[in-house]
Amino acid sequence: MDENELKELLTRENPDFRLALEEHRTCETALEGLKAKPFLTETETIEEKELKKRKLALKDRMYQMMLAHGK
């Protein structure tokens, strides 16, 4: 089973994985909105950093779930 198939399986069968994936996508959408701005305020810069950290943490969490599923 390749990585994409495993993600699809876990998205269907694991509510925690699905929730993490949805939040990851929400962070990505928010980051895209910030990137579209020509200038970020200090608050938006802090928000961007926090979104990037959260997105990375979610990616790590999903990866751990994928590894655990493979065992």
Cα gap 6→49, rounded to integer Å: 29
pLDDT category at 71 given cuts 50, 70, 90 is low
Predicted confidence (pLDDT) at residue 2 exceeds the cutoff of 90: no
In angstroms, the CA 41 to CA 15 distance is 36
Share of the chain above pLDDT 70, in %: 99
Provide the whole-model pTM. Answer: 0.89
Task: Tell me the C-alpha distance between 63 and 10, whole Å.
Answer: 11
- CB 9, CB 1: distance < 8 Å: yes
**pLDDT score, position 1:** 75
pLDDT digits (tens, 9 = 90+) for 22-51: 999 999 999 999 999 999 999 999 999 999
User: What percent of the chain stands above pLDDT 90?
Assistant: 92
